[in-house]
Structure 1
């Protein structure tokens, strides 16, 4: 979407409101220039002694009062219809951007830190809101005022009007210089604000490490550097706003001096009346307002254009073609209950030479329980992210039934495959609301929520909370322990049935025995669903139908627990080591 298309789309979306706003803004400006005309006529009648003159004077005063009251009403309406589109545009853009971010692949999110995206959604969208709201109002106010006011001034005295234009013309040349410099500075300010937001997000995510390693002084110094850079940029913008933008105000003051000087001379020569001089001075005041607004309009325009450029980073990002073509309902039904197959899967991250997964093949038929064992760095999490297509896997490597997963949308794949990670994200909501989050099905009963709490071995813990499943878990589940958060994420995944549940070290925060009990309970209930359990603990995988042993990205053995103890030295050594650790913990 180009900038022209961007403007066309949102102007069209708010066209009725904008059209009414333009009508009301025109009426406001017309009333503004008509009132001084009647004031002029009234002043010229003040010296009149006849009853006709006095009656006419009262009529003009009445007209001025009616116009002034009407102008208040019309001005309120103009603001309503001009400012509302800014808020409407901001709300629509936030929805569009959120939907787009949800559909963009992992490769996009790798390029942009979360803090930068948050800065775009908040700071940069504020500039767009001002552009489509306040910017629109002030632009048309200035445009109509600068069109109508000089015309009414010309009707009084063309010569005096030309004198008035001279200082304004000089001021516009100076204003133009500052306007050009402002554009570059606003772009720099946006980038520095995004960098600060991204850095803050990174430090907040690792706040525990920063505290434990006493890294606070270093973090403060790094943030201080970014703050000083941002302050320097902001001060440069402020200097321009202080020294260049007010030049139009100075021009307006000079214009008033010229009007008083030249107008007074013309009054003494009886070329103008006192009423005309008064009206001309009133018009100069009316002309001053849009001239003063030009500096603010320029700032709003620059912020808005910078915001649009920033927003286009997301809007113009390419969504993979297959993600734009969701499966039809018959296709979805035909894929239910199919085998997930991995065929000669090899994977390396972009820009790296090292192969993370090397020629891996296995199947997960319906109802089968498969385990993946491997040490840290063996490629377990990478394998999981390939299976759920979180990463861009090579074509013809992962199949659901006979269909390559790279040929249909990721959102469709996740109807069949749910992943529970070892670092679950919980919202600052109740236990029940966190469980219900993400479920596509409508009308899920309270009993179903209770069932998944039992399945995840969390029911007893929840019952001990003060408000049960209505207890607020706090931001990121801060009120819960690590094991409780992981079990809550399991309950969330179990709420809506799917063909395959992938559990990636989901119970790493509980002890060996608790992990085995939870998995035993789950397997007893999930007899028809396929399960892939990824773990570095042998005890957690003892009851799997098949265990895949990963080592340095390669499958070095397959089989059940008993056979692997006999045939795979790596598996046996790992099991023996962990048995010793478990005995030590028990003591």
Structure 2
């Protein structure tokens, strides 16, 4: 989406409000220039003591009062219709950006820190809102004021009008110099603000490490460096706003001096009346506000354009072709209860020639329980991220039924595959809200929430909380232990059925007995669903129909627990070592 298309889209979306706003802004400005004209007529009648003159004076004063009241009402309407589109545009853009971010693949998010994306949505969108709201209002106010007011001044005295605009022309030349410098500085300001936001996000995410390692002084120095860079940029912008932008206001004051000097001479030579001079001065006052607003409009315009450029970073990011279209209902139904097949899957990360997965093949039939065992660095998590298409897998490697998963949208694939990771993410909400998060069915009963809490062996812990399942878990679940976070993420995954649930080392923070109870309850509930359990614990895989043993990205053995104890030395040695550790822990 180009900038022209961007403007066209949102102007079209708010066209009714903008049309009404322009009408009312024009009406306000027409009333503003008409009032001094009637004041002029009234002043010129002051010396007329006749009854007709007195009656005419009363009429002019009444018209001025009526116009002033009407102008207040119309100005309110003009601001309502001009400012609301800014808020509407901001809300629409936030929805569009959030929807786009959830559809963009992992390689996009790896390029941009979360803090930068948050800064774009929170800070840069503020400039877009001002541009489509306050900027629109002030632009048309200034445009109409600088069109109508000089025209009414010309009707009084063309000569005086020409002399009075000379200071304005000179001021515009100076103003243009500052305007050019503003865009570069606003771009720099937005970039530094994004960097600061990204840095703060990183520090807040690692706040426990910072405190435990006593890194606070270092963090303070790093943040201070970014703050000083941001302050320096902001001060440069402020200097331009202070020295260049007010030049139009100074020009307006100089214009009043010209009007008083030359206009006074024309009054004494009877070329103008006292009422005309008064009206002319009133028009110069009307010009003062639009001229001062030009500096603010320039700032709003620059902020808005910089904000649009930042927003386009997300809007113009390419969604993979297969993710841009969704399968039909019939095609989605056809994928249910299909076998997930991995065929000769090899994978390496971009920029690294070493294979993390090397020629991996296996099947996950409907209703089967498959385990994956491997040490740290064996490629277990990479395999999981290939199965749910979080990573860009090679075509012809992973199939759901007879369909290659790279040929249809990730969102369609994830209707049937749920992944519970070893690093669960919890939101700053209640226990129940975290379980219900992402649920497509709004009518899920409270009993179902209680059931999955029980299956994940978390109901006892929740029962001891002061507010039960209405307890706030804090940012990223900070109020819970590691094991409680993992069990809560399992409860979330169990709330709605899916064809395949992948558990990626999610029970590493719980003891062996709790792990056994969770798996028993899980398999009892998911009798007709497929489960893939990834773990480095043999005990977690004893109940599997088939266990796949990974080592350095390769499948070195397959079979059930009993078979592997007899045929795979690596599996047997791992099981024996972990049995010894469990016995030692029990003592």
Compute the TM-score of the two structures, normalised by the length of structure 1.
Answer: 0.99
Q: Which residue of 2 aligns with 1:547?
A: 547
Distance in 2, Cα, partners of 1:37 & 1:226: 56
Q: Which residue of 1 aligns with 2:59?
A: 59
Distance in 1, Cα, partners of 2:578 & 2:193: 49
Distance in 1, Cα, partners of 2:287 & 2:20: 24
Distance in 1, Cα, partners of 2:191 & 2:433: 37
- Could you report, residue by residue, the CA deviation over 1:131-183 in whole angstroms, capped at 9, with x for unpaired residues? 00000000000000000000000001101101111110011011001000000
- Could you report, residue by residue, the CA deviation over 1:199-245 in whole angstroms, capped at 9, with x for unpaired residues? 11111111111111111111111111111111111111001001110
The runs of 5 or more residues in structure 1 that have no matched partner are: none
- Could you report, residue by residue, the CA deviation over 1:279-316 in whole angstroms, capped at 9, with x for unpaired residues? 10110010111000000000000000000000001111
The runs of 5 or more residues in structure 2 that have no matched partner are: none
- Could you report, residue by residue, the CA deviation over 1:504-534 in whole angstroms, capped at 9, with x for unpaired residues? 1111111223212211221122111110011
Distance in 1, Cα, partners of 2:354 & 2:158: 79
Distance in 2, Cα, partners of 1:235 & 1:442: 51
Cα offset, 1:463, TM superposition:
2.0
Cα offset, 1:474, TM superposition:
2.3
| Secondary structure of 1:111's aligned partner | coil
Cα offset, 1:401, TM superposition:
0.7
- Could you report, residue by residue, the CA deviation over 1:326-385 in whole angstroms, capped at 9, with x for unpaired residues? 111111111111111001111111122221111111111111111111111111111111
Task: Answer whether contact 2:370 2:546 (CA < 8 A) is retained.
Answer: yes
Show the 5 A alignment for 1:318-337: 318-337=318-337
**RMSD over equivalenced CA pairs, Å:** 1.0
Show the 5 A alignment for 1:445-456: 445-456=445-456
The answer to whether structure 1 residue 342 and structure 2 residue 357 are counterparts is: no
Distance in 2, Cα, partners of 1:440 & 1:219: 41
The answer to whether structure 1 residue 259 and structure 2 residue 259 are counterparts is: yes
- Could you report, residue by residue, the CA deviation over 1:93-136 in whole angstroms, capped at 9, with x for unpaired residues? 00000001011111110111100000000000000000000000
Matched residues, number: 587
Q: Which residue of 1 aligns with 2:286?
A: 286
Distance in 2, Cα, partners of 1:224 & 1:515: 46
Distance in 1, Cα, partners of 2:198 & 2:14: 33
Q: Which residue of 1 aligns with 2:577?
A: 577
Q: Which residue of 2 aligns with 1:170?
A: 170
Distance in 1, Cα, partners of 2:351 & 2:242: 47
| Secondary structure of 2:351's aligned partner | coil
Distance in 2, Cα, partners of 1:408 & 1:455: 33
Distance in 2, Cα, partners of 1:216 & 1:474: 22
The answer to whether structure 1 residue 470 and structure 2 residue 470 are counterparts is: yes
Distance in 2, Cα, partners of 1:77 & 1:51: 39
Compute the TM-score of the two structures, normalised by the length of structure 2.
Answer: 0.99
The answer to whether structure 1 residue 73 and structure 2 residue 73 are counterparts is: yes
- Could you report, residue by residue, the CA deviation over 1:532-557 in whole angstroms, capped at 9, with x for unpaired residues? 01111111111111111111111111
Task: Answer whether contact 2:482 2:509 (CA < 8 A) is retained.
Answer: yes
Distance in 1, Cα, partners of 2:364 & 2:136: 59
**Runs of 4+, deviation exceeding 6 Å:** none
Cα offset, 1:569, TM superposition:
2.0
Cα offset, 1:576, TM superposition:
2.1
Task: Answer whether contact 2:419 2:502 (CA < 8 A) is retained.
Answer: yes
Distance in 2, Cα, partners of 1:333 & 1:442: 21
| Secondary structure of 1:148's aligned partner | helix
Q: Which residue of 1 aligns with 2:556?
A: 556
Task: Answer whether contact 2:397 2:404 (CA < 8 A) is retained.
Answer: yes
- Could you report, residue by residue, the CA deviation over 1:249-295 in whole angstroms, capped at 9, with x for unpaired residues? 11111111111111111111111111111110110010111000000
| Secondary structure of 2:253's aligned partner | helix
| Secondary structure of 1:444's aligned partner | coil
Cα offset, 1:428, TM superposition:
2.1
Distance in 1, Cα, partners of 2:438 & 2:160: 70
Q: Which residue of 1 aligns with 2:13?
A: 13
Distance in 2, Cα, partners of 1:217 & 1:169: 54
Distance in 1, Cα, partners of 2:448 & 2:64: 71
Q: Which residue of 2 aligns with 1:219?
A: 219
Q: Which residue of 2 aligns with 1:486?
A: 486
Cα offset, 1:566, TM superposition:
2.1
Task: Answer whether contact 2:457 2:514 (CA < 8 A) is retained.
Answer: no
The answer to whether structure 1 residue 533 and structure 2 residue 533 are counterparts is: yes
